[in-house]
Structure formats: structure tokens, C-alpha cells
Structure 1
Amino acid sequence: MPSTTTSAAAGRKTTTRRTTARTRTPDAVGLLRADHKKVSELFEQFEKSRSPAKKKQLVDQICMELTVHAQIEEEIFYPEVQAALKDKELVPEARVEHQSIKDLIAAVQGVEPDGEDYDAKVTVMGEWVKHHVKEEQNEMFPKAKKSGLDLAELGERLMQRKEELMAEQQMTH
């Protein structure tokens, strides 16, 4: 970190608080895992919900979270991982899985919950997301950690882009 940031921060905060502030942005893997957990919890809430209004609200949030998550992975994380690992399998497969999930997002986003097909599409999307998450967390993330990538710097870039995209999503919805 540049010394100007350190001295500027030191003038206002104690070292302990500065350390706490630094830990707020997780490394790339931590940030993506947190996204996975959040979306998983939203799918669980959807499964329990009986209210069409609540289902629609949950699906809108799921779609926004997944859209932003997929975009930051595709723009920033996947190219870095693919280059570091010289990967010809994990990242291409993940991109194809993203496209399948995006197709389901398009089928339910902004649509009124209209019964069995709507619920089935959301349920299948949840199953695909669960499968995708499992592969990333069990295969891609451990390899990324061992690759020598600067995951802290990558986490900063992912967080910055995520914040930009979330702001854009808020404006369009």
C-alpha cells in the first residue's frame, strides 16, 4: 500500500482500527465465497416463501446478485485465474454454466410469480448455482490460492467493480 495512504490513515485512526478497515475488503476468494453464501440464503428463503410478492422480491434480489457476481467473475477473476493456471477446462466450463444461469435469470427476472413453471425455473436456477458454487469452491478457488495470484489486490478490484455494478443495478430497477 502506498505510504501516502498509510500516513493519511494514520493521522485519523489508530493502527488497530486501520487493520480492521483493511480486513473489510476480503481477498478475491473470500469475497466470492461471501456472494455464494448470500445467494444460497436467498434461494433458501425463496423455497420457504408462499407469498407471491415476497417471491418476486427475492427473485429480483437473486437475479441482481447473480448478474453482478457473474460479471465480476467474468471480467476480472476468470481471466486472472485462467492465465495463472494456464487453464483450458475450469474457466470455460464456469463460463458455460454462467450462460445457463443467465438464461434462467432472463426467464424469471421482472416476471410475476405465476405458479409451477416460475417456481420450477427458480428452483432449477438454484440447483445450477449450487453445482457451480461447489465446483468453484472445491476446484477453482483452491487452485487460485496456490497459483501465486495476489488475491488481496484481486479482491480490491472485484469489490470496486461490484460496487459500481450494484449502483448501476439500483439505478435501473
Structure 2
Amino acid sequence: MPSSSTGTASRKTTTRRTAAKSKTPDAISLLRADHKEVSALFEQFEKARSTAKKQQLVEQICIALTVHAQIEEEIFYPEVQAALKDKELVPEAKVEHQSIKDLIAAVEGVAPDGEDYDAKVTVMGEWVKHHVKEEQNEMFPKAKKAGLDLAELGERLQQRKDELMAEQQMKH
């Protein structure tokens, strides 16, 4: 046991310059974590009974999805499209994003007002689930095989995500 802790300590000193990089998840890990977070928010919404709780969850969902879609569209998708010479996966993902954005616009800042509101959030969750499945089963494996620098992409995604989250916090 002591030898492994010594190895860790020496490794930390030799990689001090890259320590910040190693803390940032690679692009796919970051996007998967976003998917998991928003999925959990939709599950909480399904169980929520109070209007206040629903409204709070929808606000979180809308922010998370808006930021996630923007970093994918600005950074991840162009890289994937170029690396794969893709004419199908990315355009389809962008159309799915637009459908989700339309539902975000329909519920964002609106007080939960019954069945239509709940239905819009439920359908949004279903579309997100479908979108996530396609990304994780098709796009992500192809991006890995394409030899993209996923660590560098992860850093760019995280930096942009932090900027956008700060902007969202100022709005709300």
C-alpha cells in the first residue's frame, strides 16, 4: 500500500502542468454526464406533484438542455461532422435539437397549467431520450473511432458550458 501512494505522489508532481486537463472530462464523458443529469431531472418531474416543484424542475431542465444543445452545436457537432464527413447523424441531431427547443420555448417561464403543460414536458423528455440514445449508440462510438482529440474537445466544451451557465444564472 505505501508504495502505491508514493507512486501517486510522484506522479502528481510530474504531471502538475496537466493536472487541470486531467480534471476535465473528455468530450464524450462530459456529454454523457449532461445526458444523465437531464434524465434524472425528467424522472423527478414525473414524480413531482406540486406546481412549484414542477416549475423549478422545468427551469433546470430548460437551462440544462439549452446549454447542452448549444455546446454540441457550436463545438462538438462541427468536429464530428468534419471527422466523419457526416451528412446524416449531425443534421438529424440538429433537427432533433430544434424540436426540443420548440418545446422548451413552450414551457420556459410558463406556470404549470395542467395537462397540456405536463404533456409538453413529457414529450420533451421522450424526444430527449430518443436523441440521447442515438448520440450514445451511434455518434459517440463513431466519434471515438474517428480519432478526434476528445480530451481537447472536452476542455473546449467545459469552458463554453461554464460561460453559458454563468450567462443563464445572470438571466434567472
TM-score, normalization by structure 2? 0.90
SS state of the match for residue 41, structure 2?
helix
TM-score, normalization by structure 1? 0.89
One-letter amino acid matched to 1:164: E
For the pair 1:117 / 2:116, whether they are aligned, the reply is: yes
Cα deviation digits, residues 95-154 of structure 1 (max 9, x gap)? 000000000000000000000000000000000000000000000000000001100000
Distance 2:110 2:76 in 1: 31
SS state of the match for residue 62, structure 1?
helix
Aligned counterpart, 1:88: 87
Aligned counterpart, 1:152: 151
| Superposed counterparts of 1:1-173, under 5 Å | 14-15=13-14, 21-173=20-172
Query: Over aligned residues, Cα RMSD in angstroms?
Result: 1.7
Flag structure 1 segments of 5+ consecutive residues without an equivalent. Answer: 1-9
**Conserved in 1, the CA contact under 8 Å of 2:28 and 2:150?**
yes
**Conserved in 1, the CA contact under 8 Å of 2:21 and 2:155?**
no
One-letter amino acid matched to 1:119: D
User: Cα distance, 1:27 vs. partner?
Assistant: 0.4
Distance 1:23 1:113 in 2: 42
Cα deviation digits, residues 26-51 of structure 1 (max 9, x gap)? 10000000000000000000000001
Distance 2:73 2:45 in 1: 26
SS state of the match for residue 166, structure 2?
helix
Flag structure 2 segments of 5+ consecutive residues without an equivalent. Answer: 1-9
Which 4+ residue blocks in structure 1 deviate beyond 3 angstroms? 13-23
User: Cα distance, 1:18 vs. partner?
Assistant: 7.2
SS state of the match for residue 135, structure 1?
helix
